[in-house]
Amino acid sequence: MFVTGRGIGGLALNPFNPGVPGSAGMYNLGLLIRAAGKVTAVGTGCFWIEDGGSRAAEGGTRGIKVLSNAAVTVGKTVKVTGVSSAYNDGGTIRSVIRTRTTADVTAVN
């Protein structure tokens, strides 16, 4: 299932399964998804992608965090396949994509 940046995580399913603040659309935590975007930052074991949804991330970065050891370059566009997840960033719940292997990240340009 292809999901845009704003849709990763989704809205609350019910009172026991909250969505991710700032998300829109169908609840998709725990599902295998695909997303694409421009790499905005790279960290140790992770990077961030932005598809125009302007999701705020930690450290002033924009985009969705991707947990992967794949070699990516800031400014390049990538497609990512992984499990839609969420994490607690100092009290703020944020979306994250957890890839299975480095092959889940492919360059578009």
Q: What is the pLDDT of residues 70-84, one digit of tens each?
A: 999 999 999 999 999
Low-confidence spans in the chain with pLDDT less than 70: none
Other Cβ atoms less than 10 A from the Cβ of 71: the count is 10
Q: Which residues contact 38 (CB under 8 A, 6 or more apart)?
A: 49, 50, 51, 75, 76, 77
Q: Which CATH class is domain 5-107?
A: mainly beta
Query: Percent of the chain scored above 70 by pLDDT?
Result: 100
Distance CA 55, CA 6 (A): 7
19: closest CA among 91, 95, 106? 95
| pLDDT, position 50 | 93
Query: Percent of the chain scored above 90 by pLDDT?
Result: 66
107: closest CA among 67, 76, 82? 76
| pLDDT, position 39 | 95
| pLDDT, position 57 | 78
